Structure 1
Amino acid sequence: MATPPAPSDDAPPPGGDPVGAVAVLADEQRRRMYAFARRVRHPVTREEAAAEAGISAKLAAFHLDKLVEAGLLRAWYDNPGGVRKVGRKPKVYEPTPADIRVSIPERRPDVIAEILLDAVLAQRPGEGARAAALRTARQCGQDIGAAERTRIRPGRLGPERSLSATEPLLAQYGFEPERRSPTSLALLNCPFHHLAARSPELVCGLNHAFLGGILDGLEATGVDAVLAPCAGRCCVELRDPAAAPDTEPPGAA
Structure 2
Amino acid sequence: MTSDMSQPTSPADAALDSLSVLGEGTRRQIFAFIRRARQPVTREETATGVGISRKLAAFHLDKLVDAGLLRARYVSPTGLRKVGRQPKVYEPTDSPIQVSIPDRRHELLAGLLLQAVLTEGDNETAADAVVRTARQRGHELGEQDRARLRPGRLGAERGLTLCEPMLDQHGFEPTREAPDRLRLHNCPFHPLAAQAPDLVCGMNHAFLTGYLQGLQATAVQAILAPRPGECCVQLQHAQPQDPPKAG
TM-score range, shorter chain: 0.7 to 0.9
**Residue type of the alignment partner of 1:141:** G
- 1:9 match: none
Matched, 1:124 2:125: no
Aligned residues: percent identity? 56
Deviation at residue 180 of structure 1 after TM alignment: 2.4
- 1:51 match: 48
**Residue type of the alignment partner of 1:175:** F
- 1:66 match: 63
**Residue type of the alignment partner of 1:140:** R
Gaps of 5+ in 1: 1-11, 244-253
How far apart, in 2, do the equivalents of 1:184 and 1:221 lie?
15
Q: Aligned to 1:17, what secondary structure does the other structure show?
A: helix
Deviation at residue 154 of structure 1 after TM alignment: 5.7
Question: TM-score, normalised to structure 2's length?
Answer: 0.85
Aligned partners of 1:75 and 1:91 also within 8 Å: yes
**Residue type of the alignment partner of 1:186:** R
After superposition, the C-alpha distances for 1:6-27 in whole angstroms (9 at most, x for unaligned) are xxxxxx9x99821111111122
Matched, 1:159 2:156: yes
Question: TM-score, normalised to structure 1's length?
Answer: 0.83
Give the superposed CA RMSD. 2.4
- 1:23 match: 20
Aligned partners of 2:221 and 2:235 also within 8 Å: yes
How far apart, in 2, do the equivalents of 1:198 and 1:207 lie?
15
Deviation at residue 71 of structure 1 after TM alignment: 1.0
How far apart, in 2, do the equivalents of 1:108 and 1:206 lie?
13
Deviation at residue 122 of structure 1 after TM alignment: 1.5
Matched, 1:83 2:79: yes
How far apart, in 2, do the equivalents of 1:96 and 1:161 lie?
38
Aligned partners of 2:68 and 2:93 also within 8 Å: yes
Equivalent residues in 2 for 1:79-228 (5 A)?
79=76, 82-85=78-81, 86-153=83-150, 155-228=152-225
How far apart, in 1, do the equivalents of 2:57 and 2:51 lie?
9
Q: Which runs of 4+ in 1 moved over 6 A?
A: none
Gaps of 5+ in 2: 1-8, 241-247
Label 1:84 to 1:28 Cα distance change in 2 as closer, same or farther (>3 A). Answer: farther
The alignment covers a number of residue pairs equal to 231
**Residue type of the alignment partner of 1:121:** L
Deviation at residue 126 of structure 1 after TM alignment: 2.6
